[in-house]
């Protein structure tokens, strides 16, 4: 047998590597944190990697997890070894099929990176709430603690299911295990063949559905037989645990790693024992090792096989000495007598005694930990054991939080730690864009694969998509690392961005004598005076070794741009001493060659130069004996921020949300809006500066800004009283606001520096056309004056909504009620949302499908939807991914019902209210802003009258009166939702005839989960699951919707024709039935500098890829053709458009001939489609 | 009529060849060029910085947003094989070599010695019969001297010549202060031939948008005159072959070029305008003229109108300028 190799990889890759080799069919749907497993499988199959039977597994991406489960079920029925990967809501969508698969006793193994289920909020992080929801399906459930186990258990589960006929759900902790990078031993194909011999597969295949030996499954049974037939499977569940143990034993013989269904570790005469499952077992194990040295009689029972729950094996695994048990659940079942595993253990002990497997009768308490990847540390484990040591241990406790409401929480000492002293622990604070995480993954590989050391890497990411911070937690040591928690005591801390020092207390975790590396423009002699008091104090008090480098300067001089990863990595190796310097540099270069070698020699050379240049620019700082700074770290939020923001939001912004107690939070997930405005992120290196003299006052910059960080106002000159000295204002140029002043103002601390506004600005200096009415200039010198100007600007009166002309220019005088979101710099989606809120925001309800728009729209700590001075603004909610159209329809139904009821009440109370008011309210024309304003005034008058009425119905009407003002309901989501997972619901809602407006932010790919192909992905574009370029054309959602006849449909691209975009929004909203706007949204997943987004949108339209049109059913009634084409015959070739984007270029580079074919076919398809549109737009329609 | 000629040591049936252009991207078109009688095929240039930028751009586009967000560690699939280098070009050399029997001349435009060497060698390995080094370079930096510009080019030629065994021609621009001297230096550095001249890409100005707009005009016979002058000047001073590119549209144009000193005549615009068959027509016209005028062979005409042999050499020099100026009456 070929020797096994050691590799560093994450839990997802470790699992997928086994699953891919043991499967023939893989049907998946991307969902965090499991997506990578499917992506690996697809990548390997695309590369021609075979399974252990030397055939390439078929991988298919489905439209939803429900779809994936259906495909899996079918593939199994037809006799293929099949697998899937999923998590969270995705797993819930598979449940119906899971019952079927288990009911049919089908050998099948699925892999789940266990993730939190959305309740009061969505969370992408890890706990067991999803897998626990599958307890009743009849699936066996096998849990892994670590990356190595995820790899091993994948093999054991695939083997066991074939022997037991019970399907398996193999799971491990989302993120903590799925995304942890660790050094593990890789099973080779021979190992897998030993585990899954051919005869097992042959037996499975015999049950395949085939017309050559037909049988029937999926019958309907009746009261006479269903019950007995359901009981027939029982022996298989009784036999399963022994079969799993048998596979574990077989595995042990092969690899030397012996696993047990329930594995005890600890003192042989332990009195206090913790029962746990998942990565928490490793943490508990680490504590127990420490406690044993202290002579404590403690132990941990690790649950591997959770279902079937094997009572005899479980109770026998407990030491006979046990007096008290604490069962830890990583999920919450509100209202249950206890959380799931706690109940199982209670039942197991009781039954175990009754059936004679044990005589043990310990005290059993249960507790919750680690929800949504909440940290679970040895300190918390200690708290659990300490609790057990009490005479009456707290039951139904929580650990890791402060529960000051129900007082469930155990107190623990955060300073307590048991980390082995010979483990190097390093923390790196980087920016997403600077490549820190990638470099650290490389460093772990270098150390773990080139030395006998073990390595562990875990990466914490920001919830923002622009200017995002990443924190890398690395450990290196001589033994496998069980510390499945963040580094809290670091001997090396690197800060890759100077500005972070003012935001995060990163030196809090430094141990005395640790090394601190700072990337700063200041040299070793100048840097000290730039540090705030807190940083200086930590350096002095902890006697840190302090190094500086100007990595950006080195990067600039070596052609690395903003990528300082290689430079900072070199610094780490140079000063951390984990490897001899020369050897480290050689290894870094080797890693560079490995990473970039196949992508291009030029890159390799540049990186080499950067490595060589680094050491000359790395300096140790002579640390003064005392703190000299007077400048303190600035407060997180401005003093005028609301109390809640200061108490709660600011703490979260600082990265200290873990410290907030239960009482700090709303009980139902309801949060105040408009909080991004308090988070002055200052992430732009350059911001736009306005030259009023050149400006033609078109407001296109404001229209294009993804972050509402450049705005326009027109106002009375008298308002300028008290303006800051540098505030700019000019006379308004047009006739509509004659005599008024005009200002374009940038929000310097909120701008992300994308420069879309500058790219779109049409006004050039006639003598120096390089200079436009707005240019990008360095932010730092403008930060303070422009912040003051912006504050003044915000206080200027808003435009009168009743008189603003609703075109591109006018719309930008309306206040945006969506601002400073965490979307990517240059995002192509958010300009549409901002426009939506400008036009209708004060009367809009938004149903938002899960995806990018729900993340930048609703990810804490701060959210971008806000209110106007009257306190009105968009009411926003995210239900799920798949149900968004229906959710939005529900909002509409409710709003309509309220209005209908209010009108009924109005008429019933008419005698008391007066006919004028009632008929005014009931027949109001609310088609215009003026009409809405008048109606709001009528509602105010109504309220006054109602206050004087004693009739109980007057109270009800008072509550509903606001609904007499029309509400605008918007259903917002991406193409993954609209074209794929939510399409069925969307279709139904569009066909419902109800007045909902659907906005599809079409990036032509799953953006949020990282670039998987959707049915909107165009032909020839590369995406995950379309690695060789999509071979089928993009689904024409607009055309499909038009076939109903009664749906308003528009296709828009603001970068091509913003006027058409504004028109479409207004028409869609005014149309009294369903409307659908499909909005071209450029995206980082297209692969080019998004500053050119508008330019690319133009090409998309001009090439015919994205024809602009509006289909308005109201025109039919007038005998006009409902379809108006708003873009002309394609005038540039498709190639001119697509070759600007990496998603296409990468396909051309890899498969030039195939791409040529795809491009030709696609060009033909686009030309034909345009022709169809053109002909449809020319049809004459019979009038009514 | 014997039209045979020798260029870069390659024995060619006649001097008319397809010059560097997008025509050679398409295999079908290349076949048509061979059918039309092209004596050699010059490929369009592989631009070194295009490769470098493509590498850097693709990697930056793919990596800039990677590893920044918990939900998406990347936004693009990772193909097993990246073809961001010269692979496509090299494969095209191989395809052309397999498809046609006439010599294939690969063309390289680079900015660094490393790039030249590396890619030149790869082109030789891919089967190119000769290399054409395109020194398309705009000296826009006021700090850079003419001597430095020339030195860099000479260094590159020396470096490439030391690495490859196939003949190397240098395609020049007309903008050198002492072209005759530079030509001799190039030959001394190892150049086996010179190609006159590169046609610079000359951006136009959009006065409405206040933007420079890329434009590339096809040549006309008028463009030939500059080349005739320099062919005439250089012929006899350099031992290697001279090729003309830019402005040959007819048999008569080709004849003039040969008379001025060109051993090879590259055609591009005429072929783009009229199709590959234009080459056959030009050859026929050339033959017809030579026959009508009772030449024995084309070699008889080669360089006959060069500065050294022309009966009125002042026409190529300053005197002509004076005469024409003086002859101009408003």
Selected residue of B46, B49, B75 to mutate for chain A interface (largest A Cβ count, 10 A): B75
Q: B112 at the A interface (CB within 8 A)?
A: no
A181 Cα to chain B: minimum distance (Å): 13
- Per-residue exposure over B210-222, b if at least 16 CB sit within 10 Å of its own CB, e if not: eeeeeeeeebeee
* Torsion, Cα of A184, A186, A191, A196 (10° steps): 90
Residue where one domain finishes, among candidates A583, A601, A621: A621
B56 contacts A470? CB cut-off 8 A? no
- Per-residue exposure over A593-615, b if at least 16 CB sit within 10 Å of its own CB, e if not: eebbebbbbbbbbbbbbbbebbe
Q: Give dist(CA A554, CA A547) in Å, integer.
A: 15
Reported as a single tens digit per residue, the pLDDT across B35-61 is 999 999 999 888 877 777 777 788 888
Q: Give dist(CA B132, CA A1115) in Å, integer.
A: 63
Q: Which of A438, A470, A1010 is closest, CB to CB, to B71?
A: A1010
In which band, very low, low, confident or very high, does the pLDDT at B81 lie, cut at 50, 70 and 90? low
Based on the fold, state whether residues A381 and A497 are members of the same structural domain: no
Based on the fold, state whether residues A864 and A924 are members of the same structural domain: yes
Contact residues on chain B for A30, CB-CB shorter than 8 A: none
Based on the fold, state whether residues A446 and A375 are members of the same structural domain: no
Strand partners, B256: none
Contact residues on chain B for A468, CB-CB shorter than 8 A: 68-69
In this structure, what CATH number is given to the domain that contains residue A790? 3.30.70.20
Based on the fold, state whether residues A359 and A508 are members of the same structural domain: no
For position B49, what pLDDT does the model report? 76
Q: A461 at the B interface (CB within 8 A)?
A: yes
Q: A1024 at the B interface (CB within 8 A)?
A: yes
Q: What is the arrangement of strands in the sheet containing A968-974, beginning at the earlier edge strand?
A: A875-877, A844-848, A968-974, A997-1002, A1075-1080, A1048-1052, A1109-1111, A1123-1125
The tokens 């529960």 sit on which residue? A403
* Domain interval for residue A1156: 1004-1034+1079-1178
For position B328, what pLDDT does the model report? 54
Contact residues on chain B for A1009, CB-CB shorter than 8 A: 71-72
- Using an 8 Å Cβ cutoff, are A484 and A283 in contact? yes
Residue A1071 lies in a domain: no
Residues 6+ apart with CB under 8 A from A204: A79, A81, A107, A162
B9 Cα to chain A: minimum distance (Å): 33
B55 contacts A600? CB cut-off 8 A? yes
Based on the fold, state whether residues A394 and A473 are members of the same structural domain: no
Selected residue of B22, B26, B67 to mutate for chain A interface (largest A Cβ count, 10 A): B67
Contact residues on chain A for B85, CB-CB shorter than 8 A: 600-601
A437 contacts B68? CB cut-off 8 A? yes
Q: A597 at the B interface (CB within 8 A)?
A: no
Based on the fold, state whether residues A200 and A234 are members of the same structural domain: yes
The proportion of chain B whose per-residue pLDDT surpasses 90, expressed as a percent, equals 56
Q: Which of B67, B72, B118 is closest, CB to CB, to A1008?
A: B72
Residue A1052 lies in a domain: no
A905 Cα to chain B: minimum distance (Å): 49
Residues 6+ apart with CB under 8 A from B327: none
Question: In this structure, what token pair is assigned to residue A982?
Answer: 């939510």
Contact residues on chain B for A36, CB-CB shorter than 8 A: 73
Residue of chain A minimizing CA distance to B205: A769
Residue A755 lies in a domain: yes
A713 Cα to chain B: minimum distance (Å): 27
Q: Give dist(CA A34, CA A13) in Å, integer.
A: 10
Residue of chain B minimizing CA distance to A824: B65
Start-to-end C-alpha separation, chain A: 81
A1011 Cα to chain B: minimum distance (Å): 4
Residue A557 lies in a domain: yes
At A365 the three-state DSSP class reads strand
Q: Give dist(CA B88, CA B107) in Å, integer.
A: 14
B85 contacts A36? CB cut-off 8 A? no
A769 contacts B65? CB cut-off 8 A? no
Based on the fold, state whether residues A588 and A442 are members of the same structural domain: yes
DSSP symbols for A662-688: GGGS-TTS---S--GGG------SEEE
Q: What is the arrangement of strands in the sheet containing A82-83, beginning at the earlier edge strand?
A: A58-61, A25-28, A82-83
Q: How many CB pairs under 8 A join A and B?
A: 152
For position A1000, what pLDDT does the model report? 98
For position A595, what pLDDT does the model report? 82
Contact residues on chain B for A1145, CB-CB shorter than 8 A: 54, 58
Q: Give dist(CA A383, CA A412) in Å, integer.
A: 5
B58 contacts A1008? CB cut-off 8 A? no
Contact residues on chain A for B54, CB-CB shorter than 8 A: 600, 1145, 1149
Contact residues on chain A for B211, CB-CB shorter than 8 A: 769
Based on the fold, state whether residues A567 and A501 are members of the same structural domain: yes
Residues 6+ apart with CB under 8 A from A697: A712, A732, A733, A734, A742, A809
Active site amino acids of A: 32, 65, 115, 1008
Number of H helices, E strands in chain A: 42, 37
Residue of chain B minimizing CA distance to A178: B70
For position B177, what pLDDT does the model report? 87
Reported as a single tens digit per residue, the pLDDT across B197-250 is 987 767 889 998 888 887 778 889 999 999 999 999 999 998 889 999 999 999
- Using an 8 Å Cβ cutoff, are A976 and A1054 in contact? no
Architecture per CATH, domain B5-327, reads as Alpha-Beta Barrel (3.20)
Average pLDDT over chain A, rounded to whole?
96
A468 contacts B69? CB cut-off 8 A? yes
Q: Which of residues 1027-1066 of A touch B (CB under 8 A)?
A: 1027
Based on the fold, state whether residues A239 and A103 are members of the same structural domain: yes
In which band, very low, low, confident or very high, does the pLDDT at B330 lie, cut at 50, 70 and 90? very low
How many residues in total does chain B contain? 330
Q: Which of A468, A855, A1011 is closest, CB to CB, to B75?
A: A1011
Based on the fold, state whether residues A102 and A242 are members of the same structural domain: yes
Q: B58 at the A interface (CB within 8 A)?
A: yes
Residue A985 lies in a domain: no
- Using an 8 Å Cβ cutoff, are A29 and A61 in contact? yes
Q: B75 at the A interface (CB within 8 A)?
A: yes
Q: A1093 at the B interface (CB within 8 A)?
A: no
Residue ranges, chain A, pLDDT below 50: none
The proportion of chain A whose per-residue pLDDT surpasses 70, expressed as a percent, equals 100
Pick from A436, A329, A328, A334: which is nearest to A384 by CA?
Answer: A328
Q: Which of residues 164-183 of A touch B (CB under 8 A)?
A: 175, 179
Q: Which of residues 411-450 of A touch B (CB under 8 A)?
A: 431-433, 435-438, 441
A432 contacts B76? CB cut-off 8 A? no
Q: Where are the beta strands (DSSP E) in A584-678?
A: 619-621
Angle at which helices A436-450 and A581-596 cross, to 10°? 120
A175 contacts B59? CB cut-off 8 A? no
A596 contacts B64? CB cut-off 8 A? no
At B166 the three-state DSSP class reads coil
Domain count along chain A? 6
Residue A1048 lies in a domain: no
Q: Give dist(CA A702, CA A712) in Å, integer.
A: 7
Based on the fold, state whether residues A889 and A964 are members of the same structural domain: yes
Based on the fold, state whether residues A344 and A442 are members of the same structural domain: no
- Using an 8 Å Cβ cutoff, are B316 and B233 in contact? yes
Contact residues on chain B for A1095, CB-CB shorter than 8 A: none
Q: Please give the model's pTM, rounded to 2 decimal places.
A: 0.93
In this structure, what CATH number is given to the domain that contains residue A64? 3.40.50.970
Phi, psi of A310 (to 5 degrees): -90, 95
């Amino acid at each position: 047998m070929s020797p096994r190799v050691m590799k560093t990889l994450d839990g997802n890759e470790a699992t997928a590597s086994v699953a891919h080799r043991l499967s023939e069919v893989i049907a998946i749907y991307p969902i965090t944190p499991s997506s990578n497993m499917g992506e690996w499988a697809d990548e390997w199959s695309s590369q021609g990697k075979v399974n252990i039977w030397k055939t390439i597994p078929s991988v298919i991406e489905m439209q939803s997890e429900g779809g994936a489960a259906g495909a899996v079920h079918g593939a199994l029925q037809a006799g293929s070894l099949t697998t899937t990967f999923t998590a969270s809501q995705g797993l819930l969508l598979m449940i119906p099929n899971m019952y079927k698969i288990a009911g049919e006793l089908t050998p099948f193994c699925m892999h789940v990176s266990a993730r939190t289920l959305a309740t009061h909020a969505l969370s992408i992080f890890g706990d067991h709430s999803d897998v626990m929801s599958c307890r009743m399906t009849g699936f066996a459930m096998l849990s892994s603690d670590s990356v190595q186990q995820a790899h091993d258990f994948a093999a054991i589960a695939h083997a066991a299911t074939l022997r037991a006929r019970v399907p398996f759900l193999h799971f491990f902790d989302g993120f903590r295990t799925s995304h942890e990078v660790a050094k593990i031993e890789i099973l080779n194909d021979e190992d897998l063949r030993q585990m899954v011999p051919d005869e097992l597969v042959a037996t499975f295949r015999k049950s395949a559905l085939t017309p050559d030996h037909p049988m029937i499954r999926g019958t309907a049974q009746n009261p006479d037989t269903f019950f007995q037939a359901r009981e027939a499977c029982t022996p298989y569940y009784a036999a399963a645990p022994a079969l799993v143990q048998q596979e574990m034993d077989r595995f042990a013989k092969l690899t030397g790693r012996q696993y047990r269904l329930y594995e005890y570790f600890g003192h042989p005469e332990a009195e206090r024992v913790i029962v746990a499952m998942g990565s928490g077992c490793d943490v508990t194990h680490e504590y127990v090792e420490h406690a044993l040295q202290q002579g404590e009689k403690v132990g941990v029972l690790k649950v591997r096989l959770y279902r079937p729950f094997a009572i005899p094996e479980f109770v026998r695994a407990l030491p006979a000495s046990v007096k008290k048990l604490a069962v830890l659940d990583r999920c919450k079942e509100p209202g249950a007598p206890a959380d799931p595993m706690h109940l199982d253990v209670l039942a197991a002990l009781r039954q175990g005694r009754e059936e004679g497997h044990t005589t043990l009768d310990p005290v059993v308490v249960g507790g919750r930990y680690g929800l949504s990847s909440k940290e679970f540390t040895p300190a918390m484990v200690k708290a659990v054991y300490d609790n057990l040591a009490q005479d009456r241990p707290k039951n139904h406790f929580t650990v890791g939080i402060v529960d000051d409401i129900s007082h469930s929480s155990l107190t623990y000492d955060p300073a307590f730690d048991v980390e082995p002293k010979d483990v190097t622990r390093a923390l790196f604070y980087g920016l997403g864009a600077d490549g820190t995480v990638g470099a650290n993954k490389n460093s772990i590989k270098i150390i773990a694969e080139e030395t006998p050391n073990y390595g562990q890497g875990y990466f914490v990411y920001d919830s923002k998509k622009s200017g995002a911070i990443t924190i890398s937690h690395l450990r290196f040591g001589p033994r496998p690392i069980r510390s499945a928690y963040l580094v809290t005591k670091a001997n090396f801390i690197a800060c890759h961005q100077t500005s972070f020092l003012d935001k995060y207390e990163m030196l809090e975790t430094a141990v005395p004598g640790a090394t601190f590396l700072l990337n700063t423009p200041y040299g070793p002699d100048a840097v000290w005076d730039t540090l705030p008091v807190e940083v200086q104090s930590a350096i002095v008090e902890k006697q840190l070794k302090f190094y500086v480098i100007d990595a950006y300067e080195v990067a600039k001089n070596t052609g690395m741009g903003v990528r300082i990863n290689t430079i900072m990595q070199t610094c780490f190796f140079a000063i951390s001493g984990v490897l001899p310097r020369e050897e480290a540099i050689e290894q870094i270069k080797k890693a560079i060659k490995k990473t970039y070698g196949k992508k291009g020699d030029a890159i390799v050379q540049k990186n080499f130069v950067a490595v060589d240049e680094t050491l000359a620019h790395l300096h140790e700082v002579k640390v003064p004996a005392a703190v000299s700074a007077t400048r303190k770290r600035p407060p997180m939020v401005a003093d005028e921020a609301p109390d809640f923001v200061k108490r709660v939001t600011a703490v979260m912004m600082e990265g200290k949300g873990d410290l907030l107690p239960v009482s700090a939070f709303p009980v139902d997930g309801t949060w105040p809006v408009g909080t991004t405005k308090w988070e002055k992120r200052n992430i732009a290196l350059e911001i736009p500066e306005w030259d009023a003299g050149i400006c033609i006052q078109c407001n296109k910059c404001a229209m294009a800004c993804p972050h509402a960080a450049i705005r326009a106002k027109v106002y009375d000159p008298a308002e300028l009283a008290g303006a800051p000295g540098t505030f700019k204002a000019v006379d308004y140029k047009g006739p509509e606001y004659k005599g008024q002043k005009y200002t374009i103002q940038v929000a310097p601390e909120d701008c992300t520096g994308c420069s879309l506004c500058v790219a779109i600005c049409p006004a050039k200096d006639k003598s120096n056309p390089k200079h436009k009415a707005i240019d990008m200039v360095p932010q730092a010198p403008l930060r303070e004056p422009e912040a003051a100007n912006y504050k003044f600007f915000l206080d200027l009166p808003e435009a009168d909504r009743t008189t603003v002309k609703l075109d591109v220019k006018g719309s930008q005088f309306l206040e945006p009620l969506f601002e400073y979101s965490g979307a990517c710099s240059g995002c192509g989606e958010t300009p549409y949302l901002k426009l939506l809120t400008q036009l209708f925001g004060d009367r809009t309800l938004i149903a938002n499908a899960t995806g990018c728009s729900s993340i930048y729209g609703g990810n804490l700590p701060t959210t971008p939807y806000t209110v106007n001075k009257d306190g009105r603004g968009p009411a926003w909610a995210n239900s799920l991914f798949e149900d968004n159209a229906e959710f939005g329809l529900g909002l509409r139904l409710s709003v309509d019902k309220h209005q209908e009821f209010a009108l009924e009440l109005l008429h019933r109370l008419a005698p008391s209210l007066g006919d004028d008011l009632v008929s005014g309210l009931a027949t109001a024309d609310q088609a215009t802003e003026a009409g809405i304003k008048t109606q709001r005034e009528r509602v105010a008058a109504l309220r006054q009258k109602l206050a004087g009425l004693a009739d109980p119905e007057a109270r009800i009407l008072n509550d509903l009166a606001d609904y007499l003002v029309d509400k605008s309901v918007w259903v917002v989501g991406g193409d993954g939702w609209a074209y794929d997972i939510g399409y069925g619901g969307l279709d139904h809602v569009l066909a419902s005839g109800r007045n909902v407006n659907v906005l599809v932010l079409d990036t032509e790919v799953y953006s949020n989960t990282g670039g998987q192909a959707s049915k909107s992905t165009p032909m020839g574009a590369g995406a995950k699951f379309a690695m060789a370029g999509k071979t089928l054309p993009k689904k024409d959602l607009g055309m499909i919707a038009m076939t109903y006849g009664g749906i308003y449909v528009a296709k828009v691209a603001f970068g091509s024709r913003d006027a058409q975009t504004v028109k479409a929004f207004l028409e869609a909203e005014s149309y009294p039935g369903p409307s659908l706007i499909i909005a071209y949204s450029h995206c980082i997943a297209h692969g080019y500098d998004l500053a050119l987004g508008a330019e690319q949108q133009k090409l998309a339209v001009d090439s015919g890829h994205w024809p602009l049109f509006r289909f308005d059913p109201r025109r039919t009634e007038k005998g006009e053709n409902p379809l108006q084409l708003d873009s002309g015959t394609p005038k540039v070739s498709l190639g001119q458009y697509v070759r600007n984007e990496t998603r296409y270029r990468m396909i051309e580079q890899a498969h030039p001939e195939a791409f040529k074919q795809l491009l030709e076919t696609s060009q033909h398809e686009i030309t034909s489609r345009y022709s169809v549109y053109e002909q449809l737009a020319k049809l004459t329609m019979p009038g009514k | 009529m014997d039209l045979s000629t020798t260029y870069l040591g390659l024995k060619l049936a006649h001097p008319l060849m397809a010059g560097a252009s997008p025509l050679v991207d398409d295999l079908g078109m290349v076949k048509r060029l061979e059918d039309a009688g092209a004596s050699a095929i010059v490929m369009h240039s592989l631009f070194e910085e295009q490769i470098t930028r493509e590498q850097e751009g693709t990697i930056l586009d793919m990596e800039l947003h990677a590893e920044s967000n918990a939900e998406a560690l990347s936004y693009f699939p990772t193909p097993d094989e990246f073809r961001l280098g010269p692979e496509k070009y090299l494969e095209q050399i191989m395809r052309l070599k397999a498809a046609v029997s006439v010599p294939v001349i690969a063309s390289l435009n680079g900015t660094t010695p490393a790039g030249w060497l590396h890619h030149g060698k790869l082109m030789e390995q891919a089967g190119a019969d000769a290399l054409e080094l395109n020194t398309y370079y705009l000296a826009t930096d006021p700090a850079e001297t003419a001597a430095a510009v020339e030195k860099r080019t000479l260094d590159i030629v020396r470096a490439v010549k030391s690495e490859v065994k196939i003949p190397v021609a240098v395609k020049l621009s007309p903008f050198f202060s002492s072209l005759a001297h530079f030509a001799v230096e190039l030959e001394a550095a190892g150049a086996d031939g010179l190609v006159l001249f590169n046609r610079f890409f000359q951006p136009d100005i959009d006065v409405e948008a206040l933007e420079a707009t890329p434009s590339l005009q096809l040549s006309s016979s008028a463009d030939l005159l500059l080349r005739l002058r320099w062919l005439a000047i250089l012929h006899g001073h350099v031992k290697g072959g001279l090729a003309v590119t830019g402005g040959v549209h007819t048999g008569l144009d080709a004849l003039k070029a040969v008379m001025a000193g060109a051993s090879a005549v590259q055609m591009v615009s005429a072929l783009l305008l009229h199709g590959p068959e234009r080459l056959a027509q030009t050859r026929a016209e050339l033959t017809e003229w030579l026959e009508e005028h009772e030449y024995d062979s084309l070699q008889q005409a080669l360089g006959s109108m060069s500065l050294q042999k022309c009966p009125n050499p002042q026409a190529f020099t300053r005197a002509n300028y004076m005469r024409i100026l003086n002859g101009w009456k408003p």
